[in-house]
């Protein structure tokens, strides 16, 4: 039985398998726009995400969502209590945010994805401490809250999309996380 089957609650298995399909004979490993949209609905941000998918341009709604994302992540980081040794990590996250926004606005989705992954890894550490770097992190977060656990499962699996180039699926996959954290 694959590891995902032992961690993800059964009611979410189908949607997770569609979002990041396992490589196999003839199977596509890039998520479809339908799979991303279905996962957004599962996370409870379907309408927010859907409003950003009307066009592929960096329109007003997308810029506004990126602004909400930035503000919310800044608040999360500032309100997070950490040991004095980890204060520099908070600054790293805050320093990465404007670069991420610039990369999104410039439609440099491959670069934006890499920056977003770093932001997510650092944010997970700030929120969950050393537990975020352990092998059973997803299981741990799923026990706290299944939807938050699914989000962090998504965050960990985003790295499977690096190196695709600046394709529209990267924009969609990134905006899914932006929508979730903008309303977190």
* Burial classification of residue 88, based on how many CB atoms lie within 10 Å of its CB (0-12 exposed, 13-18 middle, 19 or more buried): exposed
Contact 39, 179 (CB under 8 A): no
Of 22-26, 50-54, 72-76, 149-153, where does mean pLDDT reach its minimum?
A: 22-26
120 or 22, which is more confident?
A: 120
How far is the C-alpha of 147 from the C-alpha of 153, rounded, in Å? 10
Give the model confidence (pLDDT) of 46-58 as tens digits: 999 988 876 555 5
Number of other residues whose CB lies within 10 A of the CB of residue 134: 12
* pLDDT (0 to 100) of residue 180: 97
* Of 59-63, 95-99, 115-119, 130-134, minimum mean pLDDT range: 59-63
Q: Report pLDDT digits (tens) over 80-119.
A: 877 777 788 889 999 999 999 999 999 999 999 999 999 9
> Residues 23-37: what's their mean pLDDT?
74
Quickly state the pLDDT bin for 126 (edges 50, 70, 90): very high
pLDDT of residue 25: 39
Return all residues near 51 (Cβ < 8 A) that are at least 6 apart: 61
What's the gap between Cα 46 and its chain centre? 14
| Exposed / middle / buried, residue 82 (Cβ in 10 Å: 0-12, 13-18, 19+) | middle
Residue-range domain boundaries for the chain: 32-182
Q: What's the Cα-to-Cα distance from 77 to each of 15, 29, 167, rounded to whole Å? A: 30, 33, 30
Q: How confident is the model at residue 164, as a pLDDT?
A: 84
How far is 60 from 52, CA to CA, in rounded Å?
9
Tokens 């309100």 correspond to 79
Q: Note the pLDDT tens digit of each residue in 31-45.
A: 888 999 999 999 999
pLDDT at residue 184, as a whole number: 84
């Amino acid at each position: 039985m694959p590891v995902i089957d032992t961690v993800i609650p059964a009611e979410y298995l189908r949607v997770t398998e569609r979002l990041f399909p396992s490589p196999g004979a003839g199977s596509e490993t890039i998520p479809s726009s339908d799979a991303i949209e279905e996962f957004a609905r599962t996370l409870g941000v379907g309408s927010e995400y859907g409003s950003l998918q009307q066009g592929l341009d960096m329109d007003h709604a997308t810029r506004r969502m990126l602004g909400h994302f930035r503000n919310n992540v800044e608040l999360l980081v500032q309100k997070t209590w950490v040991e004095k040794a980890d204060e520099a990590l908070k600054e790293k996250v805050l320093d990465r945010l404007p670069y991420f926004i610039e990369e999104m606005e410039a439609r440099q989705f491959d670069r934006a994805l890499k920056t977003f992954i770093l932001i997510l890894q650092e944010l997970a550490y700030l929120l969950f401490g050393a537990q975020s770097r352990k092998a059973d992190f997803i299981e741990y977060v799923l026990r706290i809250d299944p939807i938050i656990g699914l989000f962090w499962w998504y965050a960990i699996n985003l790295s499977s999309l690096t190196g695709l180039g600046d394709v529209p699926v990267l924009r969609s996959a990134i905006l899914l996380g932006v929508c979730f954290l903008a309303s977190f």
